[in-house]
Amino acid sequence: MLRRLFARSVRTPPPGEALQAGAIPYVIQDGLVVFLVVTSRGSGRWVFPKGGLLAGLTPSQSAAAEALEEAGVEGEVDDEPVGAYGDTKLIGGRETPVSVAMYPLRVTRQLEDWPERRQRRRHWASLLELRRLLTTPGLLKLAELTQARALAAGDPGQPQVEQPRQDG
């Protein structure tokens, strides 16, 4: 029931609030969940890929498209968000509240070249390291929930990224 209520709130943000979708890219290596973060273009802080909803795509598909564009990874994205966090974004010269629904994405392929390669750095990190890297309120909790969901689901036995490459 809570998932349905949350999903409804993700689709219909309050008036004046924009809706975005983000991905929490991860792999499971030796029983440990490892996450991929990227630098934001403006401040250079470590974040998960996110962006506006894309026409013709579901929110989870939009999140996967952002992961490809910003981090150069592809994979299996959950249809259900793990949660959401609030942020602000400059839209039309005004600071606008944004609700960002976050979707776990199990990475199956990491590209060496991707659209925003020259604008961002990417970095694979454990949950312990994320505690130091993530400064946006709410992101660490969403990573913790993603880790719990990923470990509960277990390894489906499909190919995973072998040695994630560090770019930053």
- What confidence score (pLDDT) does residue 165 get? 55
At position 41, the amino acid (one-letter code) is: R
Beta carbons within 10 angstroms of residue 43's beta carbon: 9
The residues facing 21 across adjacent strands are 51, 101
- What confidence score (pLDDT) does residue 87 get? 83
Residue 61, classified by CB atoms within 10 Å of its CB into exposed (0-12), middle (13-18) or buried (19+), is middle
What single DSSP character describes residue 134? Answer: B
**Dist CA 81 CA 41 (whole Å):** 24
- What confidence score (pLDDT) does residue 12 get? 53
Residue by residue, pLDDT tens for the chain (168 residues) are 334 433 433 445 565 678 999 999 999 998 899 999 999 988 899 999 999 999 999 999 999 999 999 999 999 999 999 999 998 877 788 888 989 999 999 999 999 999 999 999 999 999 999 999 999 889 999 999 999 999 998 765 444 444 455 565
Pairing of strands 46-47, 83-91: unpaired
